[in-house]
Amino acid sequence: MGLSSYLHPWILLFMAASGSVSCSRNVSGTVGKSVTLPVTLTLPAQRSIQWKFNNDFIATAQPNGIPFYYGAYEGRCHLYENAALQLDNLTPADTGEYTLSVIPSSGATQTEMIYLSVYSAVTSAENVAGTEGKSEYLTVKLDLPAMWQVTWRVNSSTQIVTVSTGGSPIYTDRYRNRSHLYDNTTLRLDNLTPTDTGEFSLTVTNLNNGTTMTGSVYLTVYSAVTSAENVAGTEGKSVYLTVKLDLPAMRLVTWRVNSSTLIVTALTGGSPSYTDSYRNRCHLYDNTTLRLDNLTHADTGEYSLSVTNNQNTGVIQTGSVYLTVYNSSDLSPGAIAGIVIAVLFVVALIPLTIFFILRKKHINKTPMPTNPVYENTGPHAPNTYDNVIAGSKENMAGSKPQESSYQELQFPHNNVYSHLRKTPRK
């Protein structure tokens, strides 16, 4: 073990002998941004202030005096009256340990150390949704150097897994059997629970020069998911969006459109907080129903409701409604349905009409039996029935066919009237 391993403890012992020492704290910053190094020491009324970075002076201030800045720090830092130091235009080279010394007019010197980590790239957190009991993949797009160390954390502090180039991932106990780190730094989480909801950050450290890149993903785990229903609205009008969820006594209600754009949030007993674009054109009711006013075509989309139980470890229920906004001149879904039904009715009538027409033609073509026409049937007409009977008897006696007067009446060439004129009147 080299001398450097003992140097830091001996320095601390020396500083402790001359005054109080505060433990080192961690602060993070982003390249090109500013960061403030806070102070937790109790400051005497009369004191001198010294800030150092790796034993190099940054700024000093005498009692009631004007701060003096050293070298490259002039113009890019500011010392406040409470001894806090602000650093501007951060670079990866600013990563390291900063030491504050407070020297009173009388008494022991106080010292505080802060370790600053400057990240060279930060990606804004993306939103990812997962379902309880399922798996979810967390991905942050960062450039991987040739030699790197990858670390995933949740909520900035709890480590999940770390791995260096060529090595095997090292998982913490809580995540060992329910996560997997892929070669492209994607992290898979299995058997999700509502307690997994939070911000997951990926840090990639370049082992050649010590620079660090980081990015994050915000995961929301839902305990229940309902399928989207369809709702229609008319441009310039209002519409009510409702999702049936069980409402706990203490809850946080959130409405979003297209999964990302926030509309309104409300806590139990509090007033709804609307975003700027929806503040004057929507209203959230106590039963979580959302009314949208002055609809436009741009309002078409999926509206999701999230209800978080604030008494039960953040269990979340969610459901969604798909809104389609039509012009006032457009056909509504009800009108379209009516037209479709009418068309189907007309189509059904066509074969019925053809059937009745063909049936009528068939009836007209069928020959109908004609009844004999009996003319001159007055009191003076001859007794044709007697002639028929007499003729029938003669035919039966002589076995010779003989035409009857009934048969004569059926043929148009026999003149019935000429026969009647020959019959004498009595």
pLDDT digits (tens, 9 = 90+) for 114-132: 888 777 655 555 778 777 8
- Closest to 266 measured CA to CA, from 238, 295, 287, 296: 287
Reported as a single tens digit per residue, the pLDDT across 342-356 is: 788 888 788 878 877
Q: What is the pLDDT, as a whole number, of residue 285?
A: 92
pLDDT band per the 50, 70, 90 thresholds, residue 4: very low
Q: What is the pLDDT, as a whole number, of residue 228?
A: 60
E strand segments, 38-95: 47-53, 56-61, 68-69, 77-79, 85-87
Q: Who wins on pLDDT, 297 or 417? A: 297
Q: What is the pLDDT, as a whole number, of residue 348?
A: 79
Question: To 5 degrees, how large is the angle CA 213–CA 215–CA 217?
Answer: 165
Quick check: 2 pLDDT over 50?
no
Q: What is the pLDDT, as a whole number, of residue 283?
A: 95
- Rounded to two decimals, the pTM is 0.35
Reported as a single tens digit per residue, the pLDDT across 248-307 is: 888 889 999 987 789 999 988 889 999 999 999 999 998 899 999 999 989 999 999 988
Look at the block and give the residue holding tokens 């370790």.
115
Quick check: 381 pLDDT over 80?
no
